[in-house]
Amino acid sequence: MAFLEIRSLCKSFESYPVLKDIDLSIEKGEFVVFVGPSGCGKSTLLRMITGLETPTSGTIAIEDEVINDVDPARRGTAMVFQSYALYPHMTVFQNISFGLRMSRKPKALIRERVEKAAAILRLDKLLDRKPAQLSGGQKQRVAIGRAIVREPRVFLFDEPLSNLDAELRVQMRAELLELHERLGTTMIYVTHDQVEAMTLADKMVVMSGGRIQQYGRPLDLYDDPDNRFVAGFVGSPK
Ligand code: ADP
Ligand code: MG
């Protein structure tokens, strides 16, 4: 089995099917980017991997263990959302360390992990600030820091850059690639920005209508799209 293996995964809300028979294998350390129109089920898929939603049928396995019924806190996944959802009354240090403090990790370990994450994200001089004193990019880095300190085996990003302006988005893309290179952790990333997807992805998943249309390396999708929808989405002339 691959590092992360999704088999015959279906999800319906009430009786309305949102994800239909998803099969996908993700290798350890890959940067996998999901693209597709709004409403096609990208967030729902991420939410099932991290345990915020339960599959209707099918399985999700990480490192040969089916995680469908595993407590979200013990899956080794960490999700970064579009809205940073920082606690306004807490400092950067307190925001980044929140999850570790809740799970009562030792103080020395918390400090060590926060300082390491802050150095990677260039937040080391901002640890005493409150969110209101940060720029949009810095806030998003704090949200990423909160995920890093948990040392997950999989990062899940749900359109993390959508709230940032164009220039900052380009800069943050480079930072995310640097982060991936540095940590080597498997990343699953959702965006509706084709350029962002082509820039970041080792592998790209094009979705529509709750199904995977094609999965592969961005250039292979561009050179040899399986259908018109994929061609349109990756901007291929075919
Ligand atoms: P995407 O992230 O690709 O835009 P979502 O996964 O958010 O798509 O949503 C897919 C579909 O599922 C949409 O039609 C959405 O309205 C529906 N949906 C998502 N979450 C719920 C929910 N908790 N209850 C009912 N319908 C939902
Ligand atoms: Mg979404």
The 10s digit of each residue's pLDDT in 133-181 is 999 899 999 999 999 999 999 999 999 998 888 888 999 999 999 999 9
C-beta of 52 in contact with ligand 1 (< 6 A): no
**Ligand 2: distance of its center to the CA of 158 in Å?**
7
In the prediction, which pLDDT does 138 show?
93
Question: For the segment 4-52, what is each residue's pLDDT rounded down to a tens digit?
Answer: 999 999 999 999 999 999 999 999 999 999 999 999 999 999 999 999 9
Between CA 27 and CA 227 the distance in angstroms is: 25
- Quick one: tokens of 201? 């992805």
157 bridge partner residues: 80, 189
In the prediction, which pLDDT does 236 show?
84
pTM for this predicted structure: 0.94
Mutation choice for ligand 1 from 9, 15, 44, 233, CB with most ligand atoms inside 8 A: 44
Among protein residues, the one whose CA lies closest to atom 7 of ligand 1: 43
165 bridge partner residues: none
Q: Please name the residue ranges forming H helices in the chain.
A: 42-50, 92-102, 107-120, 136-148, 166-183, 194-200, 218-223, 228-234
39 torsion bin: left (phi>0), alpha (psi -120 to 50), beta (else): left
16 bridge partner residues: 13
Between CA 112 and CA 108 the distance in angstroms is: 6
Place of tokens 């991420």: 46
Q: Are 213 and 230 in contact (CB under 8 A)?
A: yes
Between CA 79 and CA 187 the distance in angstroms is: 10
